[in-house]
Amino acid sequence: MLDTAAELFRRQGYASTGLKQLTVQAGAPFGSLYHHFPGGKDELAEAVIRGAADYYLDLALESFDPDLDPPAMIRAMFAGAADHLRESDYADACPVATVALEVASTNDRLRQATHDVFEIWLAWLESYFTDAGMQAAAARTSAVHFLIALEGAFLLGRASRSTEALSIAGDAVAAQVAAELATGP
């Protein structure tokens, strides 16, 4: 049920995903949803969002090569994201961002869950940049820049059915990180 919900949230968003559709597509009896998620759709969505923290970090790390310098690594991660978007026929991006865009101002439970996941990703990026020799404040800025560039590029890529935005964003973030690293700790 979690995998089906994640797929539906990525493809059609939180509001457009109905519980009946979800249980039918998951091949589960309707009552099982409330058995496992007594809080209903919100509890299920929170579980999907929180589960995405590790899943998408692992997916990004599939492109990770410790032998590459950070700018090259960034380009590789954005290229991996572009491959994923293209392979999904521009339908699958990030369920965390998709849900955040929909509910951040109307559902505090899900807003907090999306915030928590973004912070996990930002913490990993900050650590990576700091370990590479970047100052702490610059590492936070670079991490935020990376994440907003990636999520924004996913949005543009889905709308244009192109990976151009991911390529441009990856190059921009890589250049910014290279400049920060050149200033030293």
Residue 151 has pLDDT above 90, yes or no: yes
Residue 146 has pLDDT above 70, yes or no: yes
Which whole number is the average pLDDT over 96-118?
92
HEC string for the chain: CHHHHHHHHHHHCCCCCCHHHHHHHHCCCHHHHHHHCCCHHHHHHHHHHHHHHHHHHHHHHCCCCCCCCHHHHHHHHHHHHHHHHHHCCCCCCCHHHHHHHHHCCCCHHHHHHHHHHHHHHHHHHHHHHHHCCCCHHHHHHHHHHHHHHHHHHHHHHHHHCCCHHHHHHHHHHHHHHHHHHHHCC
For tokens 């998408």, name the residue.
56
Q: How many residues does the chain have?
A: 185
Q: What is the pLDDT of residue 93?
A: 75
Residue 184 has pLDDT above 80, yes or no: no
Which tokens in the block code for residue 112?
């907090």
Residue 185 has pLDDT above 70, yes or no: no
Which whole number is the average pLDDT over 15-38?
90
pLDDT-based confidence at residue 58 (cuts at 50, 70, 90)? confident
Domain boundaries along the sequence of the chain:
50-183
The amino acid at residue 121 is W
What distance in Å separates the CA atoms of residue 36 and residue 75, rounded to the nearest whole number?
40
CATH number for domain 50-183, candidates 1.10.357.10, 1.20.1560.10, 3.30.70.890, 1.10.10.410? 1.10.357.10
pLDDT, mean over the chain: 91
Q: Are 100 and 111 in contact (CB under 8 A)?
A: yes
Which tokens in the block code for residue 80?
């991996």
For tokens 């912070």, name the residue.
119
Residue 128 has pLDDT above 90, yes or no: yes
